[in-house]
Amino acid sequence: MTINWPRIISFLAISIVLPAAVPAVHFSDSLLGAIYTVTSIVFSIGMSMVYGVDLGRLKNRDYYVSTKRMLLRVRDTSMFLFFMDSVFFIFAMFFDAPIFVRILSVGFSFSFTLSFVFLNTISLLYFVLNFKYLQNINYEIDERLNRDL
């Protein structure tokens, strides 16, 4: 798998650290379900765009290999990120009350619900930005093919 680990780790870190700085907010189960549903739909559209890129038309082997590598990285990172969204959603549904955590002498409140909302917001932004990226790849492939004619 060609997951972009630095990106995933930074997304998870933001989703875990930022909610500790935000006051506890309650989200209804139906709102959490709606957020997850939107993320699921956007993820599904993104995956269909990844699989819709036709690399078989490319004649240049180096370009084929580099484009395939980029597509696989987008695919694998998106799939892992959506998996983490799903895990956070499950935890948010079962552990809706904030948990007080003390590390050394510093205490803070941790909320799975807020972490879920933050991670899903970041994921949606990532998936939407990938739409533009994938569309640009398709345009670039078309331009290369037209140039080679």
How many whole angstroms separate alpha carbon 87 and alpha carbon 103? Answer: 24
How many whole angstroms separate alpha carbon 116 and alpha carbon 11? Answer: 11
Q: Where are the beta strands (DSSP E) in 15-86?
A: none
How many whole angstroms separate alpha carbon 51 and alpha carbon 57? Answer: 14
CA 3-80-75 angle, 5° bins: 60
Give tens-digit pLDDT for 87-126. Answer: 999 998 888 766 666 666 766 667 788 889 999 999 999 9
**2, 79 in Cβ contact below 8 A?**
no
Query: For residue 2, which amino acid is it?
Result: T
Q: Which two tokens stand for residue 108?
A: 């803070």
Q: Which two tokens stand for residue 69?
A: 């590598």
Confidence check: pLDDT of 75 > 90: yes
Sign of CA dihedral 3, 6, 7, 12: positive
Highest mean pLDDT among 2-11, 38-47, 55-64, 93-102: 38-47
**DSSP category for residue 22:** S
Q: What is the mean pLDDT of the chain?
A: 85
Task: Report yes or no on whether pTM surpasses 0.85.
Answer: no
Tell me if residue 26 falls in helix, strand or coil. coil
Q: What pLDDT shows up at residue 103?
A: 66
Give tens-digit pLDDT for 13-40. Answer: 888 777 777 776 778 889 999 999 999 9
Q: What pLDDT shows up at residue 102?
A: 65
**109, 18 in Cβ contact below 8 A?**
no
